[in-house]
Amino acid sequence: MTTIRAKDRDALLQSLRAGVVPRAGQHLIQVGRVKEIESLLKDIERIGDSGSAFRLIIGEYGSGKTFFLNLVRMVAMEKKLVTATADLNPDRRLHATGGQARSLYAELMRNLGTRMRPEGGALGSVVEKFVSSVLQEARDVGDTPEAIIHGKLAALSELVGGFDFAQVIAAYWRGHDTGQDVLKQDAVRWLRGEFTTKTDARLALGVRTIIDDDNFYDQMKLMARFVRLAGYSGLLVCLDELVNLYKLHSRQARDSNYEQILRILNDSLQGSCEGLGILLGGTPEFLMDTRRGLYSYSALQSRLAENTFAKDGLVDFSHPVLRLATLSQEELYVLLQKIRHVYAGGDSAHYLLPDEALQAFMVHCLQRIGEAYFRTPRNTITAFVNLLAVLEQNPAQDWRTLLGKVPVEADNGAVLESQTSGAGGADDDELASFKL
C-alpha cells in the first residue's frame, strides 16, 4: 500500500477518535456493505441518466449511517454529480413556517460540493461553469451569449419558481459581462437563500420572489435542472439526522414534514424530478414507530412497508428503505487492520499492534459489551484509536496490560467498567463480569 500523508492521517484519526465521520479518506477504512454500495451506484447512474432516486438509509446510532452517506457522496462527485449535505436539527426542517426550511436550504447550498471542491462552497463555481459553457457554445455556433442563455433557461421557466430562478442566472451573466461584481454577488446570495425580504430581492435583482419555507423543495428541483445545464450529471442531496423530525413534540409539525417526505417520494417514484437524488438518514424508531415515526403517516407506511418476500436471509436492495447490514466479525477485524495501517502512516514496519492483539481486542470488546460492538462500530473504533494513541506515546507499555483497562462506551453513553479481581492488567480469560 502507498504511504499516507501525515495531514490526511491526522485528519482521519482525529475524526475517528472524536466519534465523528471524516470528511475525506473514507476509502482508507471502508469495509463491508458491498451490496448496499452497489445499489446506490445504480441510483447514481439513474440520476445521471435524467432519472431520480429516493432512499431512506436506516441504522442504529453509531452503526455507520453518516459514514455511508459521506462515502456515497464522494462516489457521486467522482461520477460528476453535484452533492449537497446537511444535518436536520431544531432550526432546520423540511417543512416549517418560521424559517427552518429556508435555513436547511441555505445549509445545503453552503455545503454544495463538486469533484473539484468536495469540501463545499461550490455554488459560485457551478454558476461560473454554466457561464463558461455558454460562452464556449456561443463561439462554437456563432450566436450571442444572451441568446444561448435564454434558450437554456427556457426549460427552467416551466417549473414552479423557474422564471425568477432564470432571471437570477441571467442577472449573474449581466454582472459577468459588464464587470458588475455586486450584481454577481447578489445573484449568488439569492441562490443561497440569503435574501430575507422580497423588497431587497426586487431592488437588487428585479425578481419578486425569494427562497423561503414555502418553496424549499421546488428550489431543489430547479437546482438539479440547473447543474445539468452547467455540465454536471445531476444533484444528490444527503440529509442526515432525520430523527429530529421524530422528536418534534407537535403532531401537526411532524405530519407537515412527513407530508413533504411523501411528496419527495412520490415525485421520485413517478420520475418527475429530473436529475435529483434524495438520501435521508434515520434510525429504526424514526421509520417504524407507529405513534411518532414515518409509519404514523399512513400514506408513507404503505409505501415504505417492508417487502414481505424479503425474509429468511433474502434481501431487496431496490426498496426505498435501505437498512444498513451489521458488520460481521470478519469485517470488523479488517476494519481494525485498516485503522492500524492508517495510524502507521501506511508503513507496516510502524504497526503498534500485532495481528494477535487485534483478535484479543475483539474478544475483549465481545466480553465487555457483547455483540453490540460490531452492530454499532463507532464506540469500538474510538476505543481502538485511543488504545493506539496510548501505545504510541508510551512505547514501553504492553498492550496485554492495557486491554484490561480500555473503556468502551455503550450505546447510551455509559462507560463499562471492569470488575476483575486482580490488580493491574488482567488477561482476557479473567474478564468475567462487568457493570454499567
Q: 232, 80 in Cβ contact below 8 A?
A: yes
What is the distance between the alpha carbons of residues 23 and 182, in angstroms, rounded to a whole number? 32
What's the order of all strands across the beta sheet hosting 81-87? 81-87, 234-240, 276-282, 52-58, 321-323
Question: Nearest to residue 326, comparing CAs of 396, 374, 364?
Answer: 374
pTM, to two decimals? 0.84
Query: What was the pLDDT predicted at 416?
Result: 39
Say which residues have a Cβ less than 8 Å from residue 359's Cβ, sequence separation at least 6: 333
DSSP count for the chain of H helices, then E strands: 19, 7
What is the distance between the alpha carbons of residues 194 and 185, in angstroms, rounded to a whole number? 11
Q: What are the CA-CA distances from residue 226 to residues 217, 231, 234, 318 (Å)?
A: 14, 9, 9, 28
What is the distance between the alpha carbons of residues 374 and 376, in angstroms, rounded to a whole number? 5
Q: Using one digit for the tens of pLDDT, what is the confidence trace for 231-241? A: 999 999 999 99
Question: Nearest to residue 191, comparing CAs of 156, 152, 155?
Answer: 156
Question: Nearest to residue 237, comparing CAs of 251, 220, 212?
Answer: 220
Task: Look at the chain and count its residues.
Answer: 436
Return the top range by mean pLDDT from 57-61, 262-266, 328-332, 363-367. Answer: 262-266
Say which residues have a Cβ less than 8 Å from residue 216's Cβ, sequence separation at least 6: 94, 95, 101, 102, 104, 105
pLDDT confidence bin for 369, thresholds 50/70/90: low
Question: Nearest to residue 228, comparing CAs of 338, 283, 152?
Answer: 152
What is the distance between the alpha carbons of residues 11 and 22, in angstroms, rounded to a whole number? 7
**Which phi and psi (to 5°) does residue 201 adopt?**
-65, -40
Bridge partners of residue 81, in order along the sequence: 234
Q: Using one digit for the tens of pLDDT, what is the confidence trace for 383-426? A: 889 999 999 999 888 888 888 755 555 444 444 333 333 333 33
pLDDT confidence bin for 372, thresholds 50/70/90: low
Average pLDDT over the chain reads 86
Bridge partners of residue 434, in order along the sequence: 418
